[in-house]
Structures are given as structure tokens and as C-alpha cells.
Amino acid sequence: MEEVLASVEARLRSALGEPDARAAVTFLGTDRIEVLRFRDEDGGLVRYATLGMSAAPMADPTAAFADPHKGPRAELVLSVRAGRADTDKVLRPLAVLAASPQVEGVVVAPGASLDVGEPLWPGAAFTSVLVAEPGGLVEDLELTEPMEPVRFLPLLPMTSNEAAWKRVHGAAALQERWLTHGTDLRDPLRRPVSLD
């Protein structure tokens, strides 16, 4: 576990630079989840990445036996524009989402919706996120067999109306809607996309 997390942190550092802050959260009955903050001064972005979710593979909650080696592994990455909102308060909600495979037996994969039931940060219109496809920002981290690679899953904040629309029409349709309307998904103060 420690070797996996050391490799994951090294991959995050090579892709995003040195973290300028980190926080740790422990939930009853779970391993510690850390959230690292990276600043991209050139792009005016701040990125938050979890560290600890990939320590164990995610298991199908209906499986009779959870294999300690096989199964998907992931960490979560959220990118937002810096200085527009108090987004550092997203650390606990991100840790909650990262702990969901351990706590609820959820397998987090692209296209999934994850809801924390409260604003992601003070004043945010978003209580949930859409899990996007990995590979663009941080490349998958290959592990020794039989372990599966660690995937770094981008999170796209959703309003409650967007999340409801996504449940009916699907993740691809919502992403197409965002693209068509030129939605800046990194804007922590963005307005909901038109769903008419």
C-alpha cells in the first residue's frame, strides 16, 4: 500500500509540480485520505488531487470475495480557476468522495455521478461531480501484475439540475451540452448550462 501511494504521489508531482498544501482526513473504519493542492500559476488554476483512494482496489459490492490485488484503482483530480471562490473548502468533500469505495463499496468510473449532499465549497452551486475520462492531465500509473493501473479521474462539478438531466440523458449528452454552450467547467462561479 505504501509503495503504491509513494508511486502515485510521484506521478502527481511529475504531472502537476510540487504541492503547496496538503490535508489529511480519516473516516471511521477507513484508511487515511489526503488531498494535495497544486497551483498552476501560468494557467491561473488550482488543482486538488486525492491520495489514498488507490491504496486498495475498488471492489464490486455484490462480489462474495474482494481480491486484495485485482480491481480498478483510482485517484480524483479537480481543477478550478484560482482566486474566484473559497475552493480550498473542497478538501473534505473530495476526501469523502475518495473514501466512498471503502465506505459504500462504490466503484468510481468515468460517467459516474458522485454527490456529497452539500456545496463543494462555500457558496458553490455544485453538490455533485461528473467523473470524466482519465489520461489527459495525469497519465495512468502502471503497477506490477496482477494489480491494475491507477487512473487519475478528472471531476467536473455539476449543479443539481445538471445532475438530474444527466441521470435522464446520460453523461455524454451532458458533456455535449456543456461543449455546445462553451461552458467553462473550471469556473467555480459558473452558471448552470441551459438544459432546454
Q: Where are the domains of the chain?
A: 2-180
Give, as one character, the DSSP assignment of residue 158.
Answer: E
Cell of 96: 469523502
pLDDT one-digit tens code per residue, 6-55:
999 999 999 999 999 999 888 777 788 999 999 987 879 999 999 999 99
**154 CB contacts (<8 Å, ≥6 apart)?**
77, 78, 79, 131, 132, 133, 134, 136, 137
Interatomic CA distance for residues 15 and 13, integer angstroms: 5
What are 171-192's pLDDT values in tens digits?
Answer: 999 999 999 999 999 999 999 9
Say how far apart CA 79 and CA 188 lie, in whole Å: 9
- pLDDT at res. 30: 76
pTM of the model: 0.93
Determine contact, residues 152/85, Cβ cutoff 8 Å: no
Alpha helices by DSSP H, listed for the chain, are: 2-16, 91-104, 160-169, 171-180
HSE, side-chain direction, 13 A CA sphere, residue 66:
14
pLDDT tens digits, 71-116 = 899 999 999 999 889 999 999 999 999 998 888 888 999 999 999 9
